[in-house]
Amino acid sequence: MGETNEITCFKPLLETMADLAGVVVTSDAMHAQREDADYLPGRDAHYIVIVKGNPKKLRKQLRSLPWAEIPLPGRVRGIGHGRSEIRRTKVVTVNSLLFPGAHRTS
């Protein structure tokens, strides 16, 4: 039997759902995978994914954006995993993002 983890279970889990049309699937950085990003639009679904260190080219592209000039509409402070956390949310439109199917819809 092959190794199972979150990555290998992603598509099989979603295959149990008959209709993903219009559904927004959110995932953590582990699913910043090209295969997952290609799969969801094929099921007429949308995705929101966190990007950390991988994929490297995408991370480099995102780091080059003018983040200091982008307004900060959301900021939350709390305690998580035994440590103080600050989560910031910014929204920006990027043309030609280096990730399959990634675009902002209105």
Q: What is the mean pLDDT of each run of 10 residues along the chain (106 residues)?
A: 80 95 92 89 90 84 90 86 86 82 67
pLDDT, residue 104, reads: 62
Exposure b/e, 65-95, CB count within 10 A at least 16 = b: eeeeeeeeeeeeeeeeeeeeeeeeeeeeeee
pLDDT, residue 32, reads: 87
- Of the candidates 43, 45, 39, 32, the one whose C-alpha atom is nearest the C-alpha of residue 97 is 32
